């Protein structure tokens, strides 16, 4: 029987709400880093938003960039410290809306960083506003009170479909609604770190993650919503894997 123990890099409880996917993602990052023996050479770049909760929680050198700019912050750090393991952890508002330019050009430049995007379908930390890229049609948010309407608010878009056309090393989407999907998400995140260790190019892993607080759902129902609704629009799996053949 394998032994399951909290990774040593997790040194404090996070400030996340109960049932938030950010906590699971933090653990998967720490497990992947420790399994690869990279814990002494990490520079973590976290976005201003709920990703920032990992600042106190994970025992790595950290920098919090201006909201939305985290892919550029990580790019700069990787350029000057190519020996370091640099990861960017950000929400979907940061990565796909306000910071879509930064995400895009980190991908286009094929910077060998590991980017982890938390797709919770809203702007979490600021109280649950609609996310143009990821809020589902019909979902109620504080800025789409009667539910998102395609006619006036546009439709969700799968940004990994765009990113895969930029010739990046690896793009994949995972989910957290059961242990099978948590295991798969871990494999994607670990692969993102292996690719960086082997200097292969830009790796991005998006994770379908619940925000029970702003979805106004019980944490168990929030996981069910991801399984029954969000994953239908944002399928999990590998979008591109170049296998090191630049």
Partner 1 sequence: MAKAKANTELCKGCRLCVRACPRHAIIPLELVNKNGYEIIEIDQELCIGCGMCYKTCPDNVFTVE
Give the strands of the sheet with 114-119, arranged side by side: 61-65, 42-47, 85-91, 114-119, 203-208, 170-175, 237-241
CA 87 and chain centroid, separation: 10
| Residue 178-197 contact track with partner 1, rule CB under 8 A, x = bound | xx--xx--------------
CA distances from 190 to 80, 170, 187, 197 (A): 23, 12, 5, 10
Give the integer Cα–Cα distance in Å for 75 and 11: 27
Q: Segment 77-136, which members bind partner 1 (CB under 8 A)?
A: none
Residue 185: count of CB within 10 angstroms of its CB:
26
Q: Segment 21-50, which members bind ligand TPP (CB under 6 A)?
A: 47-50
Residue 123 binds which entry of partner 1, ligand SF4, ligand TPP, none, CB below 5-8 Å type-dependent: ligand TPP
Q: Confirm or reject binding of residue 228 to partner 1 (CB under 8 A).
A: no
Minimum separation from the CB atom of position 129 to ligand TPP (A): 7
Q: Confirm or reject binding of residue 123 to ligand TPP (CB under 6 A).
A: yes
Name every residue whose Cβ is closer than 8 Å to that of residue 186 and which is 6 or more positions away in sequence: 28, 31, 32, 174
Find the binder of ligand TPP among 66, 76, 147, 154 (CB under 6 A).
66
105 within 8 A of 113, measured Cβ to Cβ: no
Residue 136 binds which entry of ligand TPP, partner 1, ligand SF4, none, CB below 5-8 Å type-dependent: none
Find the binder of ligand SF4 among 50, 77, 208, 223 (CB under 6 A).
50
Handedness of CA 159, 44, 106, 141 (dihedral sign): positive
Which residue number, 36 or 63, has a Cβ lying nearer to ligand TPP?
A: 63
| Residue 196-225 contact track with partner 1, rule CB under 8 A, x = bound | ----------------x-----xxx--x--
Q: Confirm or reject binding of residue 49 to partner 1 (CB under 8 A).
A: no
Name every residue whose Cβ is closer than 8 Å to that of residue 99 and which is 6 or more positions away in sequence: 47, 67, 68, 69, 70, 71, 90
Residue 213 binds which entry of ligand TPP, ligand SF4, partner 1, none, CB below 5-8 Å type-dependent: ligand SF4
Give me the residues that bind partner 1 (CB under 8 A), please.
1-6, 10, 13-14, 16-24, 27, 178-179, 182-183, 212, 218-220, 223
Instruction: Give me the residues that bind ligand SF4 (CB under 6 A), please.
Output: 16-17, 20, 22, 50, 120, 124-125, 211-214
């Amino acid at each position: 029987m394998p032994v399951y123990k909290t990774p040593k890099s997790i040194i404090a409880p996070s400030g996340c709400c109960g049932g938030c996917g950010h906590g699971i993602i933090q653990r998967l990052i720490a497990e992947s880093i420790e399994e690869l023996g990279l814990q002494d050479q990490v520079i973590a770049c976290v976005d201003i938003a709920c990703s920032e909760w990992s600042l106190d929680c994970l025992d790595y050198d950290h920098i919090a960039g201006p909201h939305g700019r985290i892919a550029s912050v990580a790019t700069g750090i990787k350029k000057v410290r190519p020996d370091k393991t640099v990861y960017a952890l950000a929400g979907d508002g940061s990565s796909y809306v306000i910071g879509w330019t930064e995400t895009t050009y980190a991908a286009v430049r094929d910077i060998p960083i590991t980017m982890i995007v938390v797709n919770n379908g809203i702007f979490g930390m600021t109280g649950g506003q609609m996310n143009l890229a990821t809020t589902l049609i019909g979902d109620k948010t504080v800025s789409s009170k009667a539910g998102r309407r395609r006619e006036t608010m546009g439709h969700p878009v799968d940004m990994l479909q765009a990113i895969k056309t930029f010739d990046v090393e690896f793009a994949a989407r995972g989910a957290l609604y059961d242990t099978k999907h948590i295991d798969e998400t871990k494999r994607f995140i670990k692969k993102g770190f292996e690719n960086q260790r082997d200097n292969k190019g830009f790796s991005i892993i998006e994770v379908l993650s619940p925000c029970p607080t702003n979805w106004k759902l019980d944490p168990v129902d929030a996981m069910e919503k991801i399984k029954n609704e969000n994953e239908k629009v944002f399928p999990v799996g590998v979008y591109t894997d170049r296998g090191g053949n630049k």
